[in-house]
């Protein structure tokens, strides 16, 4: 079932939570709503579910207007951030809840309900916990029960509000891979809300980046990362280093440092900020003709195959820079024996003085 | 464990106060009632006035408790599940019966519904008598005991949040089903606690009821009013028997409340 959101607006008193949001989610896609807290993503999800009424705009399921349809008739599966399991019911009864409420004509027999519960429990890999109460489950188990419960009525739309928000890092990672696989098994159109960019990137077919009640960009995870539409998107997706300096049409300078950049006239002379992603740079013992950025190593942390290095600019800039380097190359460089080190950016994002994103450039 | 003498002293003082101010008077009631043996007590208990007072007290409680049960649930639901203008004001208004002296409440009802009152003339015209009769006594008892259920439920429902109810709605539950299958099981112990408190207040109410009852012997005397009346008549055994009965009711209530508090924690 496809989901369309058209020009949705919502305010709470004087605070505008959503400004004119439009979205298009094709059938069976898994879309991540990504944004910092307060960006309106949960409000949007609740409006799609029917738990919140929009001030204007429409919500359509399969091109059918459901804006004024009651939440109980929308037939969406919803997973709450804090699970919202019925604390007085067992796991099995939680999952069977929706099935037992069906009108008599549609309600499966007792045995069918039992079979369906068992099937769902095995889908979420909790076969032997049917008789437990929510208070006796771990966070990850609760989350999977909540998901099984949301899927019990075979919804064609599944909405998840920060589904892994309250779990620890390891469980999060397992669960989100599992969600991805599950989504491939069953045919359901899903939207999930998250503030974790890694999660959104890994799980979604499409990412919708939101900020202050507006959609900043919508696209595949790769697209959003490689071609950010705004400074906010670039900023929000991963750590960035900001290099400030002056540009004269050929060279960018800051103190002792310079970069030869050909922006093909896209950047005017004057102040020019460059954004550098931590993994888009190398470290070398000597500068090149196009890049002269002397640095000193201020700290390092090794994790797996990557070394995260903190660099202090020498004679330019002020802020400590963070770059991620391949560990083999880092070791080969023997940084402790080098009298001086130079940062060699592979790709830089230009930001013009009015704050817009310019072209992405490489020193040459 | 306390380690110093002054800590023990403080605890001893607390116990002494409780015994002197609470337990001793209670024991004295029983002692006074049984001062002349069992026979006068039985006689007092089986007297017509006493029987009527017990029945009336129970009837008032039986009407008051369900009314306030429903009222309390509706109010708590309303205040915790919806955002609306005046919500804060409403939660403050709930406390009026707590803050106001019951006698004042009784007088207020008299001013509105009494024969000289605001609606009194009109009520007399259609031949309805509220004051100095059962309806008026029930009305003031409902008034003075109405905050208990809501006051117990509001903080609980606030802390539980609306998510479980929302989850039920999204699974197709109607408003009534949500209440019956989700909300009620979540609040049942607190609700029972609220009912016990309401009942205790309804049974024991004196001030407000005294104003609107007119104190008609054999007609509008509840147990607390009867005690006062018997005491004024120097019928010591009767007064203390009735008082003992009321105190026993209170103790049973207290016991129930303790059991419930223990259940809630488990």
b/e burial code for range B123-161 (CB count within 10 A of at least 16 → b): beeeeeebbbbbebbbbbbbbbbbbbbbbbbbebbeebe
Residue A161 belongs to what H/E stretch?
A: strand A157-161
The answer to whether A216 and A231 are in contact (CB under 8 A) is no
- Whether A148 has a pLDDT exceeding 90, the answer reads yes
Residue range B203-223: average pLDDT? 90
Closest residue in chain B to residue A49, using alpha carbons only: B170
Contact A97 B163 (CB under 8 A): no
Residue range A306-325: average pLDDT? 89
B15 near A CB under 8 A: no
Residue B154 belongs to what H/E stretch?
A: helix B147-160
**Percent of chain B having pLDDT more than 90?**
54
Q: What is the per-residue pLDDT for B264?
A: 66
Q: Which residue has the higher pLDDT, A354 or A200?
A: A200
Helices (H) and strands (E) in chain A, counts: 9, 22
**pLDDT-derived band at B125, boundaries 50, 70, 90:** confident
Cα–Cα dist A201/A228, whole Å: 13
Cα–Cα dist A29/A4, whole Å: 12
Torsion angle of C-alpha atoms B245, B247, B253, B258, degrees rounded to 10: -140
Alpha-carbon distances, residue B185 vs A89, B222, B265 (angstroms): 9, 35, 15
Summarised one tens digit per residue, pLDDT across range B132-177 is: 999 999 999 999 999 999 999 999 999 998 999 999 999 999 999 9
Residue range B74-89: average pLDDT? 89
Cα–Cα dist B227/B110, whole Å: 23
Q: What is the per-residue pLDDT for B116?
A: 83
Rg of chain B (C-alpha set) = 22
**pLDDT-derived band at B26, boundaries 50, 70, 90:** confident
Summarised one tens digit per residue, pLDDT across range A65-98 is: 999 999 999 999 999 999 999 999 999 999 999 9
Tell me the pairing of strands A30-34 and A206-211.
parallel
- Whether A268 has a pLDDT exceeding 80, the answer reads yes
- Whether B184 has a pLDDT exceeding 90, the answer reads yes
Torsion angle of C-alpha atoms A12, A16, A22, A24, degrees rounded to 10: -60
Distance of residue A75 Cα from the nearest chain B Cα, in angstroms: 7
Q: What is the per-residue pLDDT for A169?
A: 83
Contact A86 B168 (CB under 8 A): yes
DSSP label at residue A135: G
Q: What is the per-residue pLDDT for A90?
A: 95
The answer to whether B189 and B156 are in contact (CB under 8 A) is no
Nearest to A98 among B164, B171, B186 (CB): B171
Contact A76 B163 (CB under 8 A): no
Q: How many CB atoms lie within 10 A of CB B209?
A: 29
Cα–Cα dist A192/A135, whole Å: 25
Summarised one tens digit per residue, pLDDT across range B34-47 is: 888 888 888 888 88
- Closest by Cα among B209, B75, A18 to A7: A18
Cα–Cα dist A360/A351, whole Å: 9
Q: What is the per-residue pLDDT for B265?
A: 61
**pLDDT-derived band at A211, boundaries 50, 70, 90:** very high
The answer to whether B223 and B49 are in contact (CB under 8 A) is no
Sheet arrangement for strand A281-284? A281-284, A341-345, A294-303, A306-313, A321-326
Summarised one tens digit per residue, pLDDT across range A235-259 is: 888 888 989 899 988 899 998 899 9
Contact B170 A97 (CB under 8 A): no
Take residue B188 and report the two structure tokens written for it: 């049942």
Distance of residue B162 Cα from the nearest chain A Cα, in angstroms: 9
**Percent of chain B having pLDDT more than 70?**
99
Summarised one tens digit per residue, pLDDT across range A90-147 is: 999 999 999 999 999 999 999 999 999 999 999 888 999 999 999 999 988 999 999 9
Residue range B100-110: average pLDDT? 92
* Domains, chain A, ordered by start: 3-228 (3.40.50.300), 241-361 (2.40.50.140)
Residues 6+ apart with CB under 8 A from B125: none
Cα–Cα dist A43/A45, whole Å: 5
b/e burial code for range A1-30 (CB count within 10 A of at least 16 → b): bbbbbbebbbeeeeebbbeebebebeebbb
- Whether A47 has a pLDDT exceeding 90, the answer reads yes
Cα–Cα dist A357/B225, whole Å: 83
Summarised one tens digit per residue, pLDDT across range A153-182 is: 999 999 999 988 778 888 888 888 888 888
The answer to whether B63 and B140 are in contact (CB under 8 A) is no
Map tokens 């305010």 to a residue: A11
Q: Could you write out the three-class secondary structure of A191-214?
A: EEEECCHHHHHHHCCEEEEEECCE
Closest residue in chain B to residue A159, using alpha carbons only: B170
Distance of residue B167 Cα from the nearest chain A Cα, in angstroms: 7
Torsion angle of C-alpha atoms B137, B138, B139, B144, degrees rounded to 10: 90
Interface test with B, best of A97, A135, A136, A149 (most B CBs within 10 A): A97
- Whether B126 has a pLDDT exceeding 70, the answer reads yes
Q: What is the per-residue pLDDT for B266?
A: 52
Cα–Cα dist A73/A61, whole Å: 12
What's chain A's length in residues? 364
Distance of residue B168 Cα from the nearest chain A Cα, in angstroms: 7
Q: Which residues of A touch B161 (CB under 8 A)?
A: 82
User: What angle do helix axes B38-46 and B236-265 make, rounded to 10 degrees?
Assistant: 80
The answer to whether A330 and A284 are in contact (CB under 8 A) is no
Q: What is the per-residue pLDDT for A175?
A: 85
Q: Is A56 helix (H, G, I), strand (E, B) or coil?
A: strand
A250 near B CB under 8 A: no
A10 near B CB under 8 A: no
Q: What is the per-residue pLDDT for A190?
A: 95
What's the whole-number average pLDDT of chain A? 91
A88 near B CB under 8 A: yes
CATH architecture of the domain formed by B40-265: Orthogonal Bundle (1.10)
Strands, DSSP E only, in A204-361? 206-211, 214-219, 241-247, 251-254, 257-260, 270-276, 281-284, 291-292, 294-303, 306-313, 321-326, 341-345, 348-351, 357-361
Contact A78 B163 (CB under 8 A): no
Closest residue in chain A to residue B163, using alpha carbons only: A84
Query: Which B positions 181-200 lie with beta carbon below 8 A of chain A?
Result: 181-182, 185-186
A192 near B CB under 8 A: no
Nearest to A71 among B161, B170, B177 (CB): B170
Domains of chain B, by residue range, sit at 1-33, 40-265
Q: Which residues of B touch A51 (CB under 8 A)?
A: 166, 169-170
CA A217 to the chain's CA centroid: 12
Q: How many CB atoms lie within 10 A of CB B71?
A: 17
Rg of chain A (C-alpha set) = 25
Residue range A263-269: average pLDDT? 81
**A-B C-beta contacts closer than 8 Å:** 57
* Bridge partners, residue A65, by sequence: A60
Q: pTM for this structure? A: 0.81
């Amino acid at each position: 079932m496809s989901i369309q959101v058209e020009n949705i607006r919502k305010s709470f008193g004087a605070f505008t939570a959503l400004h004119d949001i439009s979205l298009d989610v094709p059938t069976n896609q898994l879309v991540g709503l990504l944004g910092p807290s307060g960006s309106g993503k949960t409000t949007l999800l609740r409006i799609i579910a029917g738990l919140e009424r929009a001030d204007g705009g429409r919500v359509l399921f399969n091109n059918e207007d459901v804006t004024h349809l009651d939440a109980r008739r929308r037939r969406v599966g919803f997973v709450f951030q804090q699970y919202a399991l019925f604390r007085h019911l067992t796991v099995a009864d939680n999952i069977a809840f929706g099935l037992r409420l069906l009108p008599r004509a549609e309600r499966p027999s007792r045995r069918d309900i039992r079979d369906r519960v068992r099937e769902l429990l095995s889908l979420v890999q909790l076969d032997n916990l049917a008789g437990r109460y929510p208070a006796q489950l771990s966070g990850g188990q609760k989350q999977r029960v909540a998901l099984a419960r949301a899927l019990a009525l075979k919804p064609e739309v599944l909405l998840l509000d920060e589904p892994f928000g309250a779990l620890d890092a390891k469980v999060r990672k397992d669960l989100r891979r599992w969600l991805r696989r599950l989504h491939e098994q069953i045919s359901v159109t899903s939207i999930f809300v998250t503030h974790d960019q890694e999660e959104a990137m890994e799980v979604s077919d499409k990412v919708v980046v939101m900020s202050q009640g507006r959609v900043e960009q919508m696209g595949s995870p790769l697209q959003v990362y490689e071609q950010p539409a705004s400074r906010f998107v670039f900023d929000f997706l991963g750590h960035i280093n900001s290099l400030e300096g002056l540009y004269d049409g050929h060279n960018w300078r800051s103190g002792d440092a310079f970069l030869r950049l050909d922006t093909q006239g896209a950047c005017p002379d004057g102040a020019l900020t460059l954004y550098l992603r931590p993994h888009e740079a190398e470290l070398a013992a000597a500068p090149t003709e196009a890049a002269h950025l002397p640095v000193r190593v201020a700290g390092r942390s090794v994790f797996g195959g990557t070394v995260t290095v903190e660099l202090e600019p020498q004679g330019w800039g002020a802020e400590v820079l963070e770059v991620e380097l391949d560990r083999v190359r880092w070791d080969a460089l023997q940084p402790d024996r080098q009298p001086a080190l130079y940062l060699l950016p592979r790709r830089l994002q230009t930001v013009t003085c009015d704050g817009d994103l310019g072209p992405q450039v490489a020193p040459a | 464990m306390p380690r110093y003498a002054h800590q023990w002293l403080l605890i001893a003082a607390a116990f002494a106060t409780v015994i002197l101010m609470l337990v001793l008077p209670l024991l004295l009631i029983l002692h006074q009632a049984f001062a002349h043996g069992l026979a006068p007590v039985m006689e007092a208990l089986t007297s017509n006035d006493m029987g009527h007072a017990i029945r009336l007290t129970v009837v008032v409680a039986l009407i008051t408790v369900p009314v306030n049960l429903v009222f309390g649930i509706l109010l708590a639901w309303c205040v915790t599940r919806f955002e609306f203008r005046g919500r804060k004001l409403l939660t403050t208004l709930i406390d009026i019966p707590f803050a106001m002296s019951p006698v004042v409440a009784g007088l207020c009802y008299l001013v509105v519904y009494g024969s000289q009152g605001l609606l009194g003339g009109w009520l007399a015209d259609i031949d309805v008598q509220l004051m100095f009769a059962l309806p008026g006594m029930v009305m003031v008892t409902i008034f003075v005991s109405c905050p208990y259920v809501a006051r117990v439920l509001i903080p609980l429902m606030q802390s539980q949040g609306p998510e479980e109810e929302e989850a039920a709605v999204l699974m197709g539950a109607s408003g009534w089903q949500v209440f019956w299958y989700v909300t009620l099981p979540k609040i049942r112990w607190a609700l029972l606690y609220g009912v016990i408190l309401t009942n205790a207040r309804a049974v024991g109410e004196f001030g407000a009821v005294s104003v609107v009852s007119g104190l008609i012997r054999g007609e509008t005397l509840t147990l607390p009013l009867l005690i006062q009346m018997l005491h004024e008549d120097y019928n010591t055994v009767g007064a203390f028997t009735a008082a003992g009965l009321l105190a026993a009711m209170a103790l049973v209530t207290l016991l129930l409340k303790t059991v419930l508090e223990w259940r809630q924690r488990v």
